[in-house]
Chain A
């Protein structure tokens, strides 16, 4: 599995230790939420992307900004999995755990397989800190039996490296994560330049000097210490040709919003209220005012979506971004957008609930809310991206759909996609679809609810257009004229017209394509952010000799037209989802098929092994 290879050139001293080549590795950085774990992980990810590996990350951090130092509640972690081949998940278990304190060790050791490497900042393992983490006795002796424990006095090595700088002890100690980062760069032969560039853009003077120096010291420490006999190299992955970058789901989503404005040649209005894990979308879009985007930080979730609907009425592309608790608050306004048939995109970045729940943890619990969370018959198209980079494309699709059909559209991302990073092949802008928006301008025979015969969409007639003055609102509309109407037959007709309009979107959707045999024993059906885990589990099982097929749904309402046919061609339909069986319920109800569920609601993404374990009995029973 490993072989000797030439190390890549690294800065500073010539390498003298051997380099072992490996296919893949998963590293988890863990420390206090104030230790800079997310930053460390992000920088390691950038360097790894530049080294040409396929990668997948999983940031896992507490909801508290600064939980008491040294406690289990305050532990923040960042796992990165990188490989010389395609990978789909951040890996079930880390091969290396870097623990900055006893609490980080205690919270994470259970995930580390026996024999794996655990790197400890041994300076932090005082008896007081160990007690604080809940250890009744020193865990190290037992740990050394079970793992390859590497004990490094990171705090004191960092202090020594930064001697002579005009910085407080506190400032010095805050740099220690970069010592560890430098060490890991050496251990896995990552390029340091991207991090150095980033530091230079971020810091000045002694702080810059401190971070650069400790990064180099960590690197040099790896080279000189006898703790590591060799370093490792994960060769470049064979990936499609193109220009790549790292991207998280939230950044991709934000750029999708900006891109929709460019591709549809209309300004975007984003209404949002701060909420984890959706706030970063607002932050990112707000940086790009030069695209003409207007962001509105509203006083609450209701105002955010209401303002967006107002902007849509006025002719802007409108979007509201939120997470579960905020999404609930937007339902009444969504009902108005359905009734007034205005284009709008509402993004719910799902998190674990109910109520405040676990704001930083993942769940796919809002599917039924998205489909049925409003009073009465209120159909809304629902889309779900399946990877961080896919968030970009899904947003473009959602905006196009909302304008073409004059309807609100819901996008269901989740807390895992939001913060996870993957290498993303940057799309060719000239190849992205362009949509020309045509507002109604002709007063001759204008009626606010006269429908396009093909799409059933009503015209988009915006204020400022002479002769088209009209009133819309939440009261039942008379067909065609849009006047307030109390006629029962008309009411029923309008309910059915809106339903037919949304159902008709299925005509635009590509047919579902089955991965694997198109009929047979087992079909795995996934949706949204679980795609990576499902795909990895399916491929593992195929390697183990099983035959099974899979599909992954991007369109949850309406479903693709051929979905029923596909489902009925299989003996068993199995739905892994991070909820208690919501898609499964829909498939049963819609297609009258039995479906098995593999459910998880711990706030964590699926492990590959969990999906395998759910599938094996069904595969074995056949």
Chain B
């Protein structure tokens, strides 16, 4: 079927394949939000590619009516690198999970992020292995009891946001599976960012780790457990009567109790700025973890750096400018040659 002439809608991005996630899985809402945002992003459907590794989340491409590549465990960022580096005009999305992206694929995630290809990387974090039926993952909490850790996990977890920041990510954000509006906003921002956009999506696994993010998913408790990051706004959370701010005085985070009409800045609560070149500030935000602090959601960092695929293409262009387009005959005859007469 040719592409529709009418404006694209969510339905244009739905495939005829049955979605095979468990009932109640957080992945359904991510899929719905991605399909909803797609028509707004300005790419013809044929220019969009979804790439995934292995795991529950990695079934994602089968349900997106775009080009899709379900690859091997942990390596999706590398496949995406090849696609984007060879065809920069394509809109390339990587879908991965905490096990796929941070365990077996940690190395590729690190290097893909640092190269800053213009990709969107959506990491679905449910803090457990789902497809292999419930082992602890690299983001599972210390002590988590699973089939492979009957006495409790003894691995210290990795924080995806800190990992991305440490890898030099130019865009780092966190959102929550059930908060459709917030997620769509983050997806749009991630798409519009020129460079690798890393998005951690907190996602509930109803079968193996149900309720892991309950306090953040629940609208009521979210007010006091999530710190919504907004550029230009102070780091303030809570509702009337429980209004609080975060201060980093002395380099250490602390919670500042605020009156409902108190000026947070005067109490040492900073204004959120996504554009700091230095990562120290974003790292400080990333260090805020439950239960001692509210968990920040939103954009931690958004800065500009040259993209790998542009630099690569520039080298091709520069080489052509300097040496002329490649001439195979000249190449084969370059350097010392000699002629044998018949």
Chain A positions within 8 Å of B, measured between CB atoms, are: 46, 49-50, 52, 194, 239-246, 255, 258-259, 262-263, 267, 269, 271, 288-294, 296, 298-300, 302-304, 306-316, 318, 332-333, 335-336, 340, 426-427, 429, 443, 463-475, 483-484
Across the interface, name the chain B residue whose C-beta is closest to A429. Answer: B329
Chain B positions within 8 Å of A, measured between CB atoms, are: 1-3, 15, 17, 44-49, 51-52, 54, 61-62, 64-72, 75, 78-83, 85-87, 89-90, 107-108, 110-111, 312, 315-316, 318-320, 322-326, 328-329, 331-333, 335-342
Q: A269-B82, A429-B329 are in contact. Are A463 and B71 (CB under 8 A)?
A: no
How far is the CB of B129 from the nearest CB of chain A, in Å?
A: 18
Contact A483 B67 (CB under 8 A): no
Q: CB within 8 A of B82: which of A240, A318, A465?
A: A318
Q: CB within 8 A of A262: which of B45, B87, B324, B326?
A: B326
CA distance A483 to B1 in the complex (A): 17
How far is the CB of A327 from the nearest CB of chain B, in Å?
A: 16
CA distance A12 to B215 in the complex (A): 91
Q: A311-B85, A315-B87 are in contact. Are A246 and B51 (CB under 8 A)?
A: no
4 tightest Cβ-Cβ pairs between the two chains A and B: A473-B70, A310-B82, A291-B326, A241-B342
Q: CB within 8 A of B90: which of A271, A332, A340, A463?
A: A463
Q: Which residues of B contact A340 (CB under 8 A)?
A: 69
Contact A474 B326 (CB under 8 A): no
Q: Which residues of A contact B17 (CB under 8 A)?
A: 483-484
- 19 A-B pairs whose Cβ atoms sit less than 8 Å apart in the complex: A49-B336, A241-B341, A259-B328, A289-B318, A291-B328, A296-B81, A302-B108, A303-B81, A306-B72, A306-B78, A310-B78, A311-B86, A313-B83, A333-B72, A429-B332, A464-B90, A470-B67, A471-B15, A471-B70
Across the interface, name the chain A residue whose C-beta is closest to B82. Answer: A310
Contact A469 B79 (CB under 8 A): no
Contact B331 A255 (CB under 8 A): yes
Contact B326 A288 (CB under 8 A): yes
Q: Which residues of B contact A307 (CB under 8 A)?
A: 78-79, 81-82, 85
Contact B315 A243 (CB under 8 A): no
Q: Which residues of A contact B340 (CB under 8 A)?
A: 52, 239-244
Q: A303-B81, A463-B67 are in contact. Are A245 and B336 (CB under 8 A)?
A: yes
CA distance A427 to B324 in the complex (A): 22
Contact A52 B338 (CB under 8 A): yes
Q: CB within 8 A of A426: which of B64, B68, B333?
A: B333
Q: Which residues of B contact A311 (CB under 8 A)?
A: 82-83, 85-86
Contact B107 A299 (CB under 8 A): yes
Contact B46 A465 (CB under 8 A): yes
Across the interface, name the chain A residue whose C-beta is closest to B18. Answer: A484
Across the interface, name the chain B residue whose C-beta is closest to A430. Answer: B329
Give chain A's interface secondary structure class: mixed
Q: Which residues of A contact B318 (CB under 8 A)?
A: 289
Residue of B69, B80, B82, B339 with most chain A CB atoms under a 10 A cut-off? B82
Q: A307-B81, A307-B82, A429-B329 are in contact. Are A463 and B339 (CB under 8 A)?
A: no
CA distance A515 to B18 in the complex (A): 60
Q: CB within 8 A of A294: which of B80, B316, B336?
A: B316
CA distance A471 to B70 in the complex (A): 8
CA distance A371 to B167 in the complex (A): 38
6 more A-B residue pairs beyond the given contacts A245-B332, A289-B318, A471-B70, with a C-beta to C-beta distance below 8 A = A306-B82, A310-B69, A311-B82, A316-B86, A463-B67, A472-B70
Contact B85 A294 (CB under 8 A): yes
CA distance A4 to B304 in the complex (A): 75
CA distance A483 to B72 in the complex (A): 17
How far is the CB of B66 from the nearest CB of chain A, in Å?
A: 5
CA distance A191 to B110 in the complex (A): 53
Across the interface, name the chain A residue whose C-beta is closest to B104. Answer: A302
Q: Which residues of A contact B75 (CB under 8 A)?
A: 302-303, 306, 333
Q: A307-B81, A316-B86, A474-B72 are in contact. Are A469 and B341 (CB under 8 A)?
A: no
Contact B108 A299 (CB under 8 A): yes
Contact B67 A471 (CB under 8 A): yes
Count of inter-chain pairs, beta carbons less than 8 A: 215
Q: Which residues of B contact A464 (CB under 8 A)?
A: 46-47, 87, 89-90
Contact B322 A290 (CB under 8 A): yes
Residue of B47, B89, B340 with most chain A CB atoms under a 10 A cut-off? B340
Q: CB within 8 A of A290: which of B49, B316, B335?
A: B316
CA distance A262 to B319 in the complex (A): 16
How far is the CB of A283 from the nearest CB of chain B, in Å?
A: 15
Contact A470 B68 (CB under 8 A): yes
Q: CB within 8 A of A443: which of B1, B315, B320, B342?
A: B1
CA distance A316 to B309 in the complex (A): 15
Q: Which residues of A contact B46 (CB under 8 A)?
A: 463-469
Q: Which residues of A contact B61 (CB under 8 A)?
A: 471, 473
CA distance A315 to B72 in the complex (A): 20
CA distance A240 to B341 in the complex (A): 8
Q: A336-B71, A472-B69 are in contact. Are A255 and B332 (CB under 8 A)?
A: yes
Across the interface, name the chain B residue whose C-beta is closest to A287. Answer: B319
Q: A288-B331, A302-B78, A484-B17 are in contact. Are A463 and B70 (CB under 8 A)?
A: no
Across the interface, name the chain B residue whose C-beta is closest to A446. Answer: B1
Q: Which residues of B contact A312 (CB under 8 A)?
A: 82
Contact A258 B1 (CB under 8 A): no
Q: A463-B90, A467-B46, A470-B68 are in contact. Are A244 and B331 (CB under 8 A)?
A: no
Q: Which residues of A contact B325 (CB under 8 A)?
A: 290-291
Residue of B47, B49, B78, B319 with most chain A CB atoms under a 10 A cut-off? B78
CA distance A471 to B336 in the complex (A): 50
Q: CB within 8 A of B337: which of A52, A245, A289, A316?
A: A245
How far is the CB of A537 from the nearest CB of chain B, in Å?
A: 27
Contact B86 A269 (CB under 8 A): yes
Q: Which residues of A contact B110 (CB under 8 A)?
A: 299
Across the interface, name the chain B residue whose C-beta is closest to A298. Answer: B78
Q: CB within 8 A of A469: which of B66, B81, B111, B342?
A: B66
Q: A194-B336, A473-B71 are in contact. Are A467 and B78 (CB under 8 A)?
A: no
How far is the CB of A609 from the nearest CB of chain B, in Å?
A: 31
CA distance A336 to B72 in the complex (A): 7
Contact B90 A314 (CB under 8 A): yes
CA distance A96 to B98 in the complex (A): 63
Q: A243-B338, A426-B337, A472-B70 are in contact. Are A310 and B81 (CB under 8 A)?
A: yes
